[in-house]
Structure 1
Amino acid sequence: MKLIVKILYLLTAVVIALWVVPNYLEYTKNRDIYHIKMKSLEDLDRREIPSDAKSFHTELFKEEMRGYFSEVKNINVNVVSIPNSKYEVRVLFPKKYLDNFLRILRDTPLNFNIYLNDEIVYKQSNRIVEAKFIVTPY
């Protein structure tokens, strides 16, 4: 009986030496590499990139959009929060200002820290255009 116990202890020691220890060392090496890469990504993320763009805020964005149409009396801008930190923007404006609106869309990502999704939905009724698009703040 004592011989079987000794053989089992020896077998356990061999398994630990040949399988557990190398796996543990590989795990700690990979964990350290992961932490180093995460630290470098965090450092890159904290860099200050000089920019004149403003941080996104719904009320500020509304006022800025209304400011572009300062000569128009019946401009309507709605900004609604949707899931995944995105905002749906609806702008109602007279049809004759469509070129002005397209210029505004081109310049808006330069004025705010936002990503403007590619899909813009337009609805026309009489002389009014409703444009609907989604923005994602950085």
Structure 2
Amino acid sequence: MNIKTLSPITKIWFIISLLVLLLWVIPNVVSYYKNQKLYAKKVVQIEKLDKRENSFGIKNFHSEVFKSDAEEYFDKVDVISSSDNSYKVTILFAKESLPKFHTFLKNISLNYRVSVENSIVYKEMNKSMRVNIVVKPF
């Protein structure tokens, strides 16, 4: 196929497609990969900040220490080790203490190096509540 034998409309469409490729597609692809690298770099920086030791007075998670601290606020606390380096925590408290539990739950990551996994299961029992949560230390 010779370029001289192509019709003028085909030549114009070819030139337009090359211009679109050079002026729009290639810069967008370059920008995408540049942003992807920048995002990966920022994620690594955030993970480094997150894994600092003793940052802001946060305690490393230990099941017995966590249990003794939680027992100061609630009637009964059980911490059971489960798979994947996670712990199943069962807390029993009076229904009137539900706002106190929500405050405890909101501040748990500020006091310990843990994250709350999965869903929180509330179970009502007479005049008390039983809550099951799964925490994972990091």
Over 6 Å off, 4+ runs: none
RMSD of aligned Cα (Å): 2.0
Residue 131 of structure 1 corresponds to which residue in structure 2? 131
Give a deviation string over 1:5-25, Cα, whole Å, max 9, x none: xxxxxxxxxxxxxxxxxxxxx
TM value normalised by structure 2? 0.60
TM value normalised by structure 1? 0.60
Residue 104 of structure 2 corresponds to which residue in structure 1? 104
Gaps of 5+ in 1: 1-40, 70-74
Count the aligned residue pairs. Answer: 91
Q: Sequence identity, in percent?
A: 31
What are the residue-to-residue correspondences of 1:73-92 with 2, within 5 Å? 75-92=75-92
What are the residue-to-residue correspondences of 1:1-138 with 2, within 5 Å? 48=52, 50-69=55-74, 75-138=75-138
Distance, in Å, in 2 between the alignment partners of 1:87 and 1:117 is 10
Distance, in Å, in 2 between the alignment partners of 1:117 and 1:102 is 16
Shift of 1:67: 1.7
Distance, in Å, in 2 between the alignment partners of 1:53 and 1:126 is 36
